[in-house]
Structure 1
Amino acid sequence: MNFLKQKTILFLLVISGLQITTAQTFIQRYADVANQTSQANITNNLTEYEALGVKRRGTQALQNTLNWLKNKYLSYGYTAGQMTEDSFANSTYTCKNLVLTKIGTVYPNTYVIVCGHYDSITGTGTNDNGSGVVTILEIARLLQNIPTEYSIKFINFSGEEDGLIGSQHYVSSVVNGTNPKMDIRLVFNIDEVGGRAGMTNNNITCERDTGSPTSNNATSNTMTNELITCVGLYSPLSTTLSYAYASDYMPFENNNEIITGFFETNETPYAHTVNDLLINMDPVYNFNVAKAATGAMLHFARASTTLASETFNTDFQISFFPNPTKGKLNINLGTLKENNYTFSLIDIQGKEVYKDSISNAKQIETIDVSSFSKGVYMGVLETEKNRITKKIVIE
């Protein structure tokens, strides 16, 4: 056997080993979380969403729905600091995307986005897309206190019914406006997943990228097949593989991001009409979709497979990253509601080498540590009521 052939066989064995070790398997912890999906929450939130009226651009109903979403996230334990509004306007109206960010523990600068639009046209849009809205809310509720390796952005887009202008604005102004450009692992879009009353709704359509640019299609296909696996592992639904079109993942797809999505298989005939109402939907199906989506997000964001550590939540999910660091250090306020604090760095001799008071702190503040000597330090974030300390390595 010649040397080149030996190397080829070794390479194939290594690749085969990697495939075995990264295969998706059932994770009991993920199932336990997905099984906490609440039918009462799904149905009640659909009812409340419907009662908010026709959520057209520039209307009070749209603003009321935005406020309703904020209050929901706050009730789940998130803070106002974790939410940002991405506004876009013309001469006659202003609309807002709502973005809730949960910082990851290992890859804080890489994001898994789960998104769907909250605006409607003609009718209340209870299926299109109240069903996606309540699914995203339930995922956010269940993942609030669970550490994930990747950061998550829960995004409620406006302007979808006006030609995807909300998601396009977000991609142009935020994703591409970030320096360096925002690093996105996956965009998971959920649009119209409420099912049809009186039908057997036991299948969810999983959407992959088949358009241009084509360079991301293979990875989208891989991720969508992982989504299909998650549906089978964590819900009673079966799946249909299809293609992505005409929803808020398209501006991301055009931006060469990796996308996947959910869409109901029994498509409603009532979208964009006054009959897009809960009475014409199947809320049990919506519940099962939420279970599947929760399991998928636990997988895509690489959630902890054990119970959330006491430290993670008693420390208000505060983190300092990157760690180790060479230049910039980010201070993530987590779920701490106090936004006035002091931050200190203490070296291994116990000497305080840095201290700064930060008032009205943003969710993430950044300091320059490039002038400090290499070594191990203790980072201390202190408010009137709390003191959180974590080890920081400067390289």
Structure 2
Amino acid sequence: MKKLTTILCTALAACSVSSQTLIQAYKNRADLVSQTNITANLQGFSNLGIKTTGSVNNANALTWIKNKYTSYGYSASEIVENPFTFGSTSSKNLVITKTGTLYPDKYVIICGHFDTITGPGTNDNGSGTSVILEVARILKDVPTEYSIKFIHFSGEEQGLYGSSHYANNIAYQSGVKKLDIKLVFNLDQVGGKLGNVNSKIICERDTSGQSGNNAASNTITQQLATCTTLYSPLQTSISNAYSSDYIPFEQKGYVITGFYEYTRSYNEHTVNDTFANVDPVYVFKVAKAAVGAMQHFATASSTVSAISAAKEKPLTSLESVKMYPNPVKDILTVELPDSNIREFTVEISDLAGNPLLKEENQARINISRLANGIYLCTVKTEGTSITRKIIIEK
């Protein structure tokens, strides 16, 4: 740990606080990553079905992601839909901008695609989407010196069309860099496969294309690996960037890095890329690494005001919710941890995530019409949710 800390401290810009204090502050925020949120995001993404670029499901996925940012408190002016076309297909990227305190016109981009082919794409790339959402939630009210752009690209599977449009028409125009981008951090297929040993993540560096940005990419990727070890339990492996949404930026001379699963799932682009096959705990660990790394890349503050500290609390107010009896026969009772909660939703779905029953503000749920088996029960309130398994046995 001492050696890794020393490497990271050397990489950090001049700080007004000790490096140990800064690292501890970043770790505290990385520890705010919620397994409940990650699992719910993966399941919600999967439930949207196949999200082929230009399809109704693809548009619904963009709306679903957009609503997440609204629920986190991002304003309408910070959320921009970026339309593009290729051939006869039209789609949109989603771009959310968090303004920096010292360098508002210099950006750290964290990105990943949300379009899929063949299956619901829970790993490729619901996993990256889920991580980016959790990073955005946690860093919402954390001051960062550099601005952050959270970008969700469409059209990746057909040929990087969404990211190419953004890199060539927004970031770079008529041979001139319009956006001053510090680095592009891409997340693609970071979900692993349930049952595999998922203890390592690939940190991707630039080794081809524009030669002038290779050295900087290598430096940034080494920092990414160090942050991963500091802020998550994951081990790291350094490999090469390849065929994902950072490539159009690399071709314009920008510095890139990325995450990709180490133990391949091989479910990508198949009907097996589902919620049932992804490893939510692995995605949770990747999110912790990403939160830590983004704080480093964007130079986040090491101090938290009383107001923002309250906002940074993890969404765990429902962790102690009780659901009984379990197994249940006819009536399931949901006992909330706070008696002052008046507005809540209880949803019951099968293990594939298909909704079967929904009740508003009801603590006693009649499940008598459901067949024997194992189900998922989700309780939601004020942007917080928790999912538990229940058994129906009559």
Shorter-chain TM-score above 0.5: yes
Is 1:267 the counterpart of 2:272? The answer is: no
Aligned residue-pair number: 297
Q: In the alignment, which residue of structure 2 is the partner of 1:221?
A: 218
The answer to whether residue 287 in structure 2 is matched with residue 287 in structure 1 is no
Match of 2:241 in 1: 244
Alignment CA distance shift 1:86-1:305 (3 Å): same
2:301 aligned to which of 296, 304, 309: 304
1:338-377 equivalence runs, <5 A: none
Q: Is the Cα–Cα contact under 8 Å of residues 12 and 296 in structure 2 kept in the other structure?
A: no
Aligned to 2:75: 79
Query: Matched residues in 1 for 2:299 and 2:86: separation?
Result: 39
Q: Measure, in 2, the Cα distance between the counterparts of 1:116 and 1:20.
A: 25
1:92 equivalent in alignment to 2:88? yes
Q: Which residue, out of 185, 188, 192, partners 1:191?
A: 188
Of 217, 225, 231, the residue aligned with 1:234 is: 231
What is the rounded CA distance, in whole Å, between the counterparts of 2:11 and 2:263 in structure 1? 35
2:59 corresponds in structure 1 to: 63
Instruction: Give the drift of 1:90.
Output: 4.0
Q: CA deviation at 1:269?
A: 1.2
Contact 1:194 1:282 in 2 (8 A): yes
Amino acid at match of 2:49: G
Deviation at 1:68, TM superposition (A): 0.2
Question: What is the match of residue 322 of structure 1?
Answer: none
RMSD over equivalenced CA pairs, Å: 2.2
* Equivalent residue letter for 2:242: Y
Offset, 1:196: 1.3
Counterpart AA for 2:251: N
Q: Is 1:47 aligned to residue 49 of structure 2?
A: no
CA–CA distance in 1 between the matches of 2:164 and 2:275?
29
- How far is 1:278 from its partner? 1.6
Q: 1:115 and 2:92 equivalent?
A: no
Letter in 1 for 2:252: N
Aligned partner of 2:152 in structure 1 is 156
Separation (CA, whole Å) in 1 of partners of 2:284 and 2:304: 24
Q: Secondary structure in 1 aligned to 2:157?
A: helix
Larger Rg: 1 or 2?
1
Kept after mapping to 1: 8 A contact 2:171/2:177: no
Q: Is the 8 A contact 1:146 1:308 kept in 2?
A: no
What is the TM-score when the length of structure 1 is the normalising length?
0.72
Q: Under a length normalisation based on structure 2, what TM-score does the superposition of the two structures give?
A: 0.72
The sequence identity of aligned pairs, in percent, is: 53
Aligned partners of 1:145 and 1:313 also within 8 Å: no
CA contact (8 A) 1:138 1:290 kept: yes
- Residue 32 of structure 1: SS of its match in structure 2? helix
Contact 1:147 1:312 in 2 (8 A): no
Alignment partner, residue 252 of structure 2: 255
Shift in Å at residue 22 of structure 1? 5.1
Deviations 1:20-51 (A, max 9, x none): 87597661111110000000000011001000
CA–CA distance in 2 between the matches of 1:219 and 1:89? 32
Once residues 152 and 62 of structure 1 are traced to their aligned partners in structure 2, the CA distance between those partners, rounded to angstroms, is 24
Q: Secondary structure at the match of 2:173?
A: coil
Q: Deviations over 1:356-381 (max 9, x none)?
A: xxxxxxxxxxxxxxxxxxxxxxxxxx
| Conserved 8 A contact 2:192-2:265 | yes
Separation (CA, whole Å) in 1 of partners of 2:250 and 2:58: 26
Q: AA paired with 1:276? A: D
8 Å CA contact 1:145–1:308 kept in 2: the answer is no
CA distance 1:39–1:313, change in 2 (3 Å): closer
Change in 2 beyond 3 A, CA 1:66/1:152: same
Shift of 1:308: 4.0
| Runs of 4+ off more than 6 Å | 311-314
Mapped to 1, the partners of 2:11 and 2:64 lie a distance apart of 45
Q: Which residue of 1 aligns with 2:133?
A: 137
What is the deviation of 1:110?
0.1
Is residue 11–residue 223 contact of structure 2 (8 Å, CA) maintained in 1?
Answer: no
User: Deviation at 1:92?
Assistant: 2.8
Q: CA deviation at 1:216?
A: 0.6
Kindly provide the amino acid, as one letter, of the partner of residue 187 in structure 2.
I
Distance in structure 2 (CA, Å) of the matches to 1:205 and 1:82: 31
For residues 180 and 241 of structure 1, what CA distance do their matches in structure 2 show? Answer: 29
Distance between the aligned counterparts of 1:272 and 1:295, measured in 2? 30
The residue number in structure 2 matching 1:13 is: none
User: Is the CA contact (8 Å cut-off) linking 1:212 and 1:254 kept in structure 2?
Assistant: yes
Partners of 2:185 and 2:11 in 1: CA distance: 25
For structure 2, the 5+ residue unaligned runs are: 1-8, 312-394
SS of the residue corresponding to residue 239 of structure 2 reads: strand
Q: Where does structure 1 lack aligned partners over 5 or more consecutive residues?
A: 1-17, 315-395
State how far apart, in whole Å, the 2-side matches of 1:180 and 1:39 are: 39
